[in-house]
C-alpha cells in the first residue's frame, strides 16, 4: 500500500482524513513495513466502512488487516443506534463468533514429548475435523434452540465442562439477547450434527508450549509460566453461523435502499440497528455467538477426554474464550460521555484493559486475555488488553497473523506432505485429513505473527504476556 | 445451443479466500461452470461421480444475486447431505434458476476434500459479458 496518502499520527498509527462520502477518518495500526505490504483493498474497504451511517470516531484496521468482503478482515467499526447507526452481516462475517479459547494445563513439555505421537493420534481421532465431519451429538430442533439461547451454559449443563469454564468465557459463556426464532430452519438443520466439530481452513486445535513470558504479573494472573503447556482451540459457529450470514447478507442488500442506505458496495450490505431487519440479525447473530461458544465448549470436553486418557493426571483450566467475528453492544466514552454503541470486530479481538467490569475479577489487574492464533509452524501469543486500547479503537486488537498469500498461490509453492515433514523435523506433529488443506495453510502463507504482535503492542492496543510454540496441531 | 468447447472455469486470487469464475457462451452455462469452479475449491471435480441427482430452484432480483443464491444453495445441499457435486444442468429465466445437479457422498479417501466453503460472497461479484462476448459468472467464496 502506498503510505503517501496517510498522515502518520505515530510510529504505529496511520490516518486518512474523511473525503468524498466518508463520515469519519480511516485509522490503520501498523508499522511501516506492515502497512507497506498491506493490500490496497484494506484502505478501500476501510474507507467504504467510514461512509456507513452512524459510524463513530473512525473506521479502524488492525496490524493483521487484509482484504475481506465488505469490511476488511482486521476491521473495527462502532455505530450509534441513535444516529442511524447500522449493523452489517459482512462486518461480522460468515463465521459468526469464530474465536480462540486457550486452556492452561498442569503438564510440562516433557510430559507431552513422551506421548506426543500417541496423543496427536488420539486427538485427531476424537475431534471431528475437516470437510463433512459430523459431531457425536445429534440435536433436535428444541435442543438446538436451548443451545442457541444459552451457549456455553447449555454445554456445561449437558455435561461438557465446568462452571469455571463459563466464568472465563466472554459474556460468561452466554450471549444475552439471542433470538433463535430469527434463525431459519435451514441454519438449524445445518447445525443438527455439527456441534462439537472443528471445521476446516484455518481452524485448529493445538498443544502448545510456553517459550517466553514478557510480563510476569500478567502471566501470573493468567496462570502461565515458561515451559508450561497450553491447549488452544480455534473455530466458530459452523454451518449455522454460515447460513445466518448468507441469509442476512441477502436480506440487508435487498432492503438497504428502502432503509435509505446508499451502499458504496453491495457487499457492505447493512441495516439500521433500529430497523426490523437490523433487530432480526442482531438476535440471530447473538444466537450464532452462543453456537460458537457451545461448539468450543464441547470441543474442550473432547480434548479433556483425550488428554486424560493418555495422561491421567492432566488438568485443563480455561484461561479465556474470546471471539474475533462479532458485533457487540458496549459502552464507550465518546467526547467525554458514555455512549451505547454496537462495535463490529471482523477479524479483530476485543481487548478490554485492566479494571473492566466485563472481564473476570481475577484478570482485572492484568486486563482481558487477547488470544492470537499463529500458524501451525510459528508462534501464537497471549496478550492483555489495555486501557489505552479502549481510547484508541474501542478496546480492540489484532486476531492472528493474517494471510499474506492466497490459497491458490500457496498450493503452487508447497505440497502438504512436505510441509508436514518439515514441521516434524522441527518437533511439530501435524494431523490433518487433507494434505492440500495443509499446503493452503502453510506457515509462510501468513504474515510474520511476531511483527503483527509487536505492532499491536507498539500501538498500545495490547501488551504481550506470553509466546507459545505448537507441539501438536490438529488441522481441520 | 451453447458452445461447450469454449466454456471453462477458473479460480482467481483473493488474499484470504478464493474467487470462482465460470465463462461460457450462455449465462446458464457460465453458472454451471462457476459451480464446477466451486467444487474445485474443495476437490478435483473430475473425481466426483454423478451417482445421485437433486433439483435446485432459486430466485434473485438480478443475475448477480441469483449467482450468489445458486452457489449458496449448493453449499447448503453439500453440507446437509454430506455430498459433493460434479455435474450441473442449469436453466435461467425471469430471475429464476432451475437446476439438476449430480454428485455423490463425500468420501475422504477418494475425494481428498481440502476445505469447506462457508458462503458465496458479494465480493468481486459479476455476471455479464466480457470483451470476447462470453458470459462471465464470478464471485469470491469464503473458506
**In chain A, what percentage of residues exceed pLDDT 70?**
100
The answer to whether position A411 is within a domain reads no
Q: What angle do CA A234, A291, A320 make, to 5 degrees?
A: 45
Query: Per-residue confidence at A69, pLDDT binned at 50, 70, 90?
Result: confident
Contact assessment for residue A130 and residue A476, using Cβ atoms and an 8 Å cutoff: yes
The answer to whether position A357 is within a domain reads yes
| Average of per-residue pLDDT across A41-48 | 95
Specify the DSSP class assigned to residue A169: B
Secondary structure percentages of chain B, helix, strand, coil, to 5: 30, 40, 30
Query: Per-residue confidence at B2, pLDDT binned at 50, 70, 90?
Result: very low
**Torsions phi, psi of B71, nearest 5?**
-65, -40
Burial A277-316 (b: 16+ CB within 10 A, else e): bbbbbbbbbbbbbbbbbbbbbbbbbbbbebbeebbeebeb
The answer to whether position A412 is within a domain reads no
Which residue's C-alpha cell is 494434505? Answer: A435
Distance between CA atoms of residues B52 and B83, nearest Å: 9
**Spatial CA neighbour of A352 closest among A170, A153, A163, A102:** A170
The answer to whether position A417 is within a domain reads no
Q: What is the mean pLDDT of chain A?
A: 95
A211 touches B: beta carbon within 8 Å: no
Q: Which of residues 85-124 of A touch B (CB under 8 A)?
A: 90, 93-95
Interface probe for B, chosen from A200, A246, A325 (most Cβ of B below 10 Å), is A246
Q: Angle, to 10 degrees, between the axis of helix B63-81 and the axis of helix A238-255?
A: 160
pLDDT digits (tens, 9 = 90+) for B23-80: 999 999 999 999 999 999 999 999 999 999 999 999 988 999 999 999 999 999 999 9
3-state secondary structure of A246: helix
pLDDT digits (tens, 9 = 90+) for A252-309: 999 999 999 988 888 899 999 999 999 999 999 999 999 999 999 999 999 999 999 9
Contact assessment for residue A325 and residue A334, using Cβ atoms and an 8 Å cutoff: no
| Average of per-residue pLDDT across A64-71 | 91
Work out the number of other CB atoms within 10 angstroms of the CB of residue A122.
17
The answer to whether position A70 is within a domain reads yes
Burial A240-262 (b: 16+ CB within 10 A, else e): bbbbbbbbbbbbbbebbeebebe
Contact assessment for residue A436 and residue A354, using Cβ atoms and an 8 Å cutoff: no
Examine the residue annotation and report whether A324 is marked as an active-site residue of this protein. Answer: no
> Is A70–B69 a contact, with Cβ atoms under 8 angstroms apart?
no
Contact assessment for residue A237 and residue A196, using Cβ atoms and an 8 Å cutoff: no
Q: Which residues contact B137 (CB under 8 A, 6 or more apart)?
A: B21, B22, B23, B27, B30, B31, B33, B34, B63, B67, B126, B127
H helices of A335-406, in order, are 387-393
A334 touches B: beta carbon within 8 Å: no
Residue B3 pLDDT exceeds 70: no
ipTM score of the complex?
Answer: 0.90
Q: Which residues of B touch A (CB under 8 A)?
A: 11, 13-18, 42, 61, 64-65, 68-69, 72, 75-76, 79-80, 82, 106, 108, 112-116, 118-123, 125, 140, 142-143
pLDDT of residue B1: 44
- Chain A's closest residue to B141, CA to CA, is A69
pLDDT digits (tens, 9 = 90+) for A214-249: 999 999 999 999 999 999 999 999 999 999 999 999
Distance between CA atoms of residues A146 and A136, nearest Å: 18
Least Cα separation, residue B4 to chain A (angstroms): 26
The answer to whether position A283 is within a domain reads yes
| Average of per-residue pLDDT across A194-217 | 95
Specify the DSSP class assigned to residue A136: S
- Chain A's closest residue to B72, CA to CA, is A246
**Residue A332 structural domain:** 3-404+446-475
Which chain A residues touch B11 with a CB distance below 8 Å?
A: 408
Query: Per-residue confidence at B5, pLDDT binned at 50, 70, 90?
Result: low
**In chain A, what percentage of residues exceed pLDDT 90?**
91
pLDDT digits (tens, 9 = 90+) for A174-195: 999 999 999 999 999 999 999 9
> Is B115–A265 a contact, with Cβ atoms under 8 angstroms apart?
no
Which residue's C-alpha cell is 434458476? Answer: B97
pLDDT digits (tens, 9 = 90+) for B97-135: 999 999 999 999 999 999 999 999 999 999 999 999 999
Half-sphere exposure of B8 (CA within 13 A, CB side): 4
**Spatial CA neighbour of A373 closest among A400, A391, A412:** A400
Contact assessment for residue A126 and residue A298, using Cβ atoms and an 8 Å cutoff: no
> What is each CA distance from B37 to A260, B64, B71, in whole angstroms?
36, 17, 10
A267 touches B: beta carbon within 8 Å: yes
Let me know if A412 is exposed, middle or buried by CB neighbors in 10 A (0-12, 13-18, 19+): exposed
The answer to whether position A339 is within a domain reads yes
Q: Which residues contact A429 (CB under 8 A, 6 or more apart)?
A: A116, A117, A120, A423, A471, A472, A473
The answer to whether position A101 is within a domain reads yes
Domain count, chain A: 1
Q: Where are the beta strands (DSSP E) in A288-324?
A: 316-323
Residue B4 pLDDT exceeds 70: no
- Can you give the C-alpha Rg of chain A in angstroms? 21
Which residue's C-alpha cell is 484494506? Answer: A42
> What is each CA distance from A449 to A118, A402, A467, B68, in whole angstroms?
29, 8, 11, 34
Distance between CA atoms of residues A396 and A449, nearest Å: 17
Specify the DSSP class assigned to residue B63: H
Which residue's C-alpha cell is 449493523? Answer: A87
B10-142: CATH superfamily: Archease domain (3.55.10.10)
End-to-end CA distance of chain B: 34
CATH number at residue A137: 3.90.1860.10
Amino acid at each position: 500500500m502506498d503510505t503517501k496518502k496517510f498522515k502518520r499520527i505515530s510510529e504505529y498509527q496511520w490516518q486518512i482524513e474523511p473525503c468524498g462520502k466518508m463520515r469519519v477518518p480511516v485509522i490503520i495500526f501498523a508499522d511501516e513495513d506492515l502497512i507497506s505490504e498491506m493490500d490496497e483493498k484494506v484502505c478501500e474497504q476501510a474507507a467504504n466502512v467510514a461512509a456507513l451511517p452512524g459510524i463513530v470516531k473512525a473506521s479502524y484496521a488492525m496490524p493483521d488487516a487484509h482484504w475481506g468482503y465488505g469490511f476488511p478482515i482486521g476491521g473495527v467499526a462502532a455505530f450509534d443506534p441513535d444516529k442511524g447507526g447500522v449493523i452489517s452481516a459482512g462486518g461480522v462475517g460468515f463465521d459468526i463468533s469464530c474465536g480462540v479459547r486457550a486452556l492452561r494445563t498442569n503438564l510440562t513439555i516433557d510430559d507431552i514429548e513422551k506421548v506426543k505421537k500417541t496423543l496427536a493420534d488420539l486427538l485427531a481421532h476424537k475431534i471431528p475435523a475437516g470437510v463433512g465431519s459430523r459431531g457425536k451429538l445429534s440435536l433436535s430442533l428444541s435442543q438446538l434452540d436451548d443451545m442457541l439461547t444459552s451457549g456455553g451454559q447449555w454445554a456445561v449443563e449437558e455435561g461438557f465442562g465446568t462452571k469455571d469454564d463459563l466464568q472465563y468465557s466472554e459474556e460468561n459463556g452466554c450471549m444475552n439477547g439471542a433470538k433463535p426464532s430469527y434463525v431459519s430452519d435451514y441454519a438449524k438443520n445445518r447445525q443438527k450434527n455439527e456441534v462439537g466439530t472443528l471445521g476446516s481452513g484455518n481452524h485448529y486445535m493445538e498443544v502448545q508450549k510456553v517459550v517466553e513470558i514478557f510480563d510476569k504479573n500478567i502471566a501470573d494472573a493468567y496462570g502461565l509460566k515458561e515451559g508450561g503447556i497450553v491447549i488452544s482451540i480455534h473455530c466458530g459457529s459452523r454451518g449455522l453461523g454460515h447460513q445466518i450470514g448468507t441469509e442476512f447478507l441477502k436480506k440487508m442488500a435487498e432492503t438497504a435502499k428502502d432503509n435509505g442506505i446508499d451502499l458504496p458496495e453491495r457487499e457492505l450490505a447493512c441495516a439500521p440497528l433500529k430497523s426490523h431487519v437490523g433487530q432480526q440479525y442482531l438476535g440471530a447473530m447473538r444466537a450464532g455467538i452462543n453456537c460458537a461458544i457451545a461448539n468450543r465448549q464441547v470441543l474442550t470436553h473432547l480434548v479433556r477426554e483425550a488428554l486424560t486418557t493418555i495422561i491421567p493426571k492432566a488438568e485443563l483450566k480455561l484461561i479465556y474464550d474470546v471471539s474475533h467475528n462479532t458485533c457487540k453492544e458496549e459502552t464507550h466514552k465518546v467526547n467525554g460521555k458514555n455512549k451505547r454503541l454496537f462495535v463490529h470486530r471482523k477479524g479483530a479481538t476485543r481487548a478490554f484493559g485492566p479494571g473492566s467490569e466485563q472481564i473476570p475479577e481475577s484478570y482485572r489487574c492484568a486486563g482481558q486475555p487477547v488470544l492470537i492464533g499463529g500458524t501451525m509452524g510459528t508462534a501464537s501469543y497471549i496478550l492483555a488488553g489495555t486501557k489505552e486500547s479502549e481510547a484508541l479503537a474501542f478496546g480492540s486488537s489484532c486476531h492472528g497473523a493474517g494471510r499474506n498469500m492466497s490459497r491458490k498461490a500457496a498450493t503452487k509453492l508447497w505440497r502438504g506432505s512436505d510441509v508436514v515433514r518439515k514441521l516434524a523435523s522441527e518437533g511439530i506433529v501435524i494431523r490433518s485429513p487433507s494434505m492440500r488443506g495443509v499446503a493452503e495453510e502453510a506457515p509462510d502463507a501468513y504474515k510474520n505473527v511476531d511483527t503483527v504482535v509487536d505492532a499491536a503492542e507498539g500501538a498500545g492496543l495490547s501488551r504481550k504476556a506470553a509466546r507459545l510454540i505448537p507441539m501438536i496441531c490438529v488441522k481441520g | 445451443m451453447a458452445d461447450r468447447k469454449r466454456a471453462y472455469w477458473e479460480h482467481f486470487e483473493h488474499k484470504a479466500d478464493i474467487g470462482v469464475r465460470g465463462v461460457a457462451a450462455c449465462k446458464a452455462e457460465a453458472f454451471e461452470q462457476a459451480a464446477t469452479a466451486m467444487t474445485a475449491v474443495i476437490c478435483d471435480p473430475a473425481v466426483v461421480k454423478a451417482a445421485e441427482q437433486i433439483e435446485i430452484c432459486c430466485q434473485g432480483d438480478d443475475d448477480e444475486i441469483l449467482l450468489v443464491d445458486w452457489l449458496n444453495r449448493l453449499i447448503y445441499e453439500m453440507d446437509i447431505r454430506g455430498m459433493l457435486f460434479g455435474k450441473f444442468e442449469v436453466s435461467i429465466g425471469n430471475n429464476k434458476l432451475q437446476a439438476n445437479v449430480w454428485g455423490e457422498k463425500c468420501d475422504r479417501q477418494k475425494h481428498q476434500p481440502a476445505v469447506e466453503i462457508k458462503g458465496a460472497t458479494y465480493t468481486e461479484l459479476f455476471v455479464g459479458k466480457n470483451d470476447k462476448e462470453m458470459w462471465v459468472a464470478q464471485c469470491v467464496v469464503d473458506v
